[in-house]
Amino acid sequence: MNIPKISDAEWEVMKMVWKKSPINSEEIISFLSVKMNCSAPTIKTYINRLLKKGALGYEKSGRSYSYNPLLSEKDCIRAESSSFLEKVYDGAIGLLFSNFIEDEDLSEKEIEKLQKLLENKKKHHLPPETKKK
Amino acid sequence: MNIPKISDAEWEVMKMVWKKSPINSEEIISFLSVKMNCSAPTIKTYINRLLKKGALGYEKSGRSYSYNPLLSEKDCIRAESSSFLEKVYDGAIGLLFSNFIEDEDLSEKEIEKLQKLLENKKKHHLPPETKKK
DNA sequence: CTTTAGCGTTTACAAATGTAAACTATGTAT
DNA sequence: ATACATAGTTTACATTTGTAAACGCTAAAG
């Protein structure tokens, strides 16, 4: 699957649609115009660009449309993450982690969750081909 | 410090300069024109834009210039990372980690290093204000 | 000295992005 | 039926980005 480039502003729209799909433009606009501090027409533009890019689909719903994602959140996050990893870290995932761990606030609980994840990863240590999905 | 927006292509230049500063344009161009598969004038443009943005400085060095970073790698990575975290994860750092751990390949050794980092983080668990730098 | 090879500077241009107004069609309230 | 509000569609425009050619200055070569 080829993930098209999704701009920063468009990501806001996608995140809403992923969370609340099916969702109509009124909802999108009323929420995002506040969060992004921009006008309704602006958000309409983002929605339209996403339709054109094939990231969103729609169907009639009463007097207006209802939107749904055509790209999975997982896939978009993957694409975005790996381009970030490449751009900033030249692919050095270990470095990425240590920087984030250093810079970001993590609750005790989160730290423990991550430790568990790593423990698991180490145990199974699946070769690349076995990665799920 | 206000980090200006650095585009994808410009990041390539910055990474070289951080690694090899002071470095002259010949070196930058000969390396990046291959890596990025683009022409010399293109890379000159990137360099110039970075100068204009205040991301690079220069000094005469024989017949040409020698460039050096005016923004620290740490700071740029921080800025870029937090905007990525916001854009893709709405700030949910725990989720970011678990996705990366799930998706990326980590060697046994790297996993252990991360575990150590987390262990440390847990022990000290510094409140935000105490974060170094 | 004059020419030329190189480097830096200026100009160019299309596509993407952020931002938004103008226009159009249609359902709903007089 | 007719006008108004509303949602969707079209058009607009400045800025940023990717990409690169054109131009001009200076140092080296003839």
Question: At a CB cut-off of 8 Å and minimum separation 6, what does B76 contact?
Answer: B3, B6, B14, B55
| Helix boundaries (H) for chain A | 8-20, 25-35, 40-52, 73-89, 93-103, 108-124
Tokens of A117: 């994840």
Answer yes or no: is A68 CB < 7 A from strand C. Answer: no
Residue-level pLDDT at B64: 85
Q: How far is CA B76 from the centre of its chain?
A: 6
The DSSP 8-state label assigned to residue A19 in this structure reads H
Question: Which stretches of chain A score pLDDT less than 50?
Answer: 131-133
Residue-level pLDDT at B122: 82
Give the CA B65 to C1' D26 distance in Å: 14
Residue-level pLDDT at B133: 42
Give the CA A44 to C1' D8 distance in Å: 9
Residue-level pLDDT at B126: 57
Taking residues B83-91, report their average pLDDT.
96
Model confidence band, residue B128 (pLDDT cutoffs 50, 70, 90): low
From the candidates B81, B89, B120, which should be mutated to test the interface with A, based on the most A CB atoms within 10 A?
B81
Mean of pLDDT over chain B: 90
- Total number of residues shown for chain B: 133
Question: What is the residue-wise DSSP string for B27-70?
Answer: HHHHHHHHHTT--HHHHHHHHHHHHHTTSEEEEEETTEEEEEES
Stated pTM of the model = 0.89
Alpha-carbon distance of A77 to A65, in angstroms, equals: 26
Cis peptide before B22 (omega within 30 of 0): yes
